[in-house]
C-alpha cells in the first residue's frame, strides 16, 4: 500500500516535471530556433521587379533599380532614368543568393554600430511585384587568413548578426551610375568584315577583310597585331557619363567608326571632340548614353590610327 502510494506520488511529480519541460520548449521555442538561421535570403530571381539600395557611398540616398516592360532601369540623381544590363542585375541577385551564414556573430544590439549593421550599413530591399521579399543590412567586412573576406549582415527585422562569405561592399556600395549600361562595343570581332574610320583632315582609313587577311586601305596588316587590336575594339565600356548635355545639340561628330558585323549588322560609334577635356562618345549599341571619352583615354581606345594594326 505504501509502495503503491509512493509510486503514485513519483508518477505525479514526473508528470508535473514533464509538463514543465514541454511548456519550456514551447515558450522558448522561438529562442531555440533563432540560435542559427541556415538561410537568410529566399527570393525568386525570375520574379524580382525592383531593388532599392541605400549605399554608404551615397550617404544612404536611395539607388532605385526597376524592371519596366522587361527592361531594367536605374533612376538617376537628375530624375531621369537609364538602362541597366540584365547581366548586372543577374550579378546583384546571384550575390544576394550567395549569402549563407557561417556563424552567428552577435545577438547584442549594442554591437550593431561596431559591425556597421545599423543605419551606417548598406541596406538592400528586394521586391517581387508589390511584395517585399528581402530587407537586409550589409555591414563591415572582415579579413581573415588565409585570404578570406567576410561580411557582417543582419535582416532588418532581426537583432541577430551573421558573418557570411564575400566582400559585399564591392557589389552593393555603389552609386546609380555604376549600374548603368556603359556599352560602347560588344560583339564578336570574328563576324566583322570591314571597319571604316572617319577622322578630321586626311587621317581616315578603312580596314577590310579579304579572305583570311586584313588590309588597311591597300596594305596588308600584321595578322597577330590586328587580332589583338580587333579583340580590344570588340569589347569597350565606359563608366563615366555626360548627362548635362542634350544629345540633340551635339551637332555633327568629328570622329566616326562604322563596323560591318555579320552578327549585328552595322555598328556605329560617333565621337564629338571639343578639346582634351571635352570628348563625348555615343554608340548605336547604347544610343541613350553619352559617355565621357576623356576618362581613361576612352576616346583614343575607340578611334585608333592605322598604326594600331601594324607591327611596330
Q: Each residue of 123-140: pLDDT tens digit? A: 999 999 999 999 999 999
Nearest to 171 by CA among 218, 209, 122, 234: 122
For residue 84, what pLDDT is reported?
A: 93
Say how far apart CA 215 and CA 226 lie, in whole Å. 10
**Is the pLDDT score of 12 beyond 70?**
no
**Is the pLDDT score of 214 beyond 80?**
yes
Q: Each residue of 66-87: pLDDT tens digit? A: 999 999 999 998 889 999 999 9
27: which 3 cell numbers? 515558450
Angstrom CA distances, 254 to 9, 184, 240, 283, 303, stand at 101, 17, 20, 14, 11
Say how far apart CA 191 and CA 215 lie, in whole Å. 16
pTM of the entire structure?
0.77
Most confident listed range (1-5, 143-147, 277-281): 277-281
Specify whether the CB–CB gap between 80 and 147 falls below 8 A: no
Domains of the chain: 45-176 (no CATH), 183-309 (3.30.1490)
Cβ count near 274 (within 10 Å): 10
> Average pLDDT, stretch 293-311?
96
Cβ count near 178 (within 10 Å): 16
> Average pLDDT, stretch 85-112?
94
For residue 65, what pLDDT is reported?
A: 98
Task: Give the dihedral of Cα atoms 204, 280, 238, 201; nearest 10 deg.
Answer: 10
For residue 186, what pLDDT is reported?
A: 96
Say how far apart CA 3 and CA 55 lie, in whole Å. 73
Q: Each residue of 256-273: pLDDT tens digit? A: 999 999 999 999 999 999
**Is the pLDDT score of 297 beyond 80?**
yes
Say how far apart CA 131 and CA 200 lie, in whole Å. 55
Q: Which residues contact 242 (CB under 8 A, 6 or more apart)?
A: 280, 290, 291, 292
Amino acid at each position: 500500500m505504501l509502495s503503491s502510494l509512493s509510486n503514485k506520488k513519483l508518477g505525479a511529480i514526473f508528470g508535473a516535471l514533464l509538463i514543465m519541460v514541454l511548456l519550456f520548449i514551447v515558450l522558448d521555442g522561438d529562442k531555440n530556433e533563432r540560435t542559427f538561421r541556415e538561410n537568410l535570403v529566399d527570393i525568386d530571381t525570375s520574379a524580382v521587379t525592383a531593388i532599392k539600395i541605400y549605399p554608404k557611398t551615397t550617404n544612404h540616398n536611395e539607388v532605385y533599380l526597376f524592371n519596366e516592360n522587361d527592361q531594367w532601369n536605374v533612376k538617376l540623381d537628375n530624375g531621369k532614368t537609364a538602362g541597366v544590363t540584365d547581366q548586372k542585375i543577374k550579378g546583384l541577385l546571384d550575390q544576394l543568393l550567395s549569402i549563407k551564414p557561417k556563424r552567428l556573430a552577435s545577438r547584442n544590439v549594442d554591437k550593431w554600430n561596431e559591425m556597421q549593421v545599423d543605419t551606417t550599413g548598406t541596406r538592400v530591399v528586394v521586391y517581387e511585384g508589390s511584395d517585399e521579399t528581402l530587407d537586409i543590412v550589409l555591414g563591415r567586412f572582415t579579413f581573415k587568413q588565409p585570404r578570406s573576406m567576410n561580411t557582417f549582415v543582419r535582416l532588418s527585422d532581426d537583432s541577430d548578426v551573421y558573418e557570411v562569405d564575400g566582400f559585399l561592399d564591392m557589389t552593393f556600395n555603389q552609386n546609380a551610375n555604376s549600374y548603368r549600361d556603359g556599352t560602347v562595343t560588344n560583339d564578336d570581332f570574328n563576324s566583322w568584315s570591314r571597319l571604316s574610320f572617319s577622322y578630321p583632315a586626311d587621317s581616315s582609313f578603312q580596314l577590310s577583310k579579304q579572305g583570311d587577311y586584313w588590309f588597311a586601305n591597300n596594305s596588308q596588316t600584321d595578322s597577330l597585331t590586328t587580332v589583338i587590336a580587333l579583340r580590344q575594339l570588340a569589347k569597350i565600356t565606359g563608366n563615366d557619363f555626360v548627362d548635362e548635355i542634350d544629345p540633340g545639340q551635339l551637332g555633327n561628330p568629328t570622329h566616326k567608326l562604322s563596323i560591318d558585323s555579320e552578327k549585328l549588322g552595322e555598328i556605329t560609334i560617333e565621337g564629338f571632340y571639343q578639346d582634351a577635356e571635352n570628348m563625348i562618345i555615343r554608340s548605336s549599341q547604347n544610343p541613350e548614353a553619352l559617355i565621357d571619352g576623356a576618362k581613361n583615354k576612352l576616346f583614343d581606345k575607340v578611334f585608333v590610327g592605322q598604326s594600331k594594326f601594324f607591327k611596330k
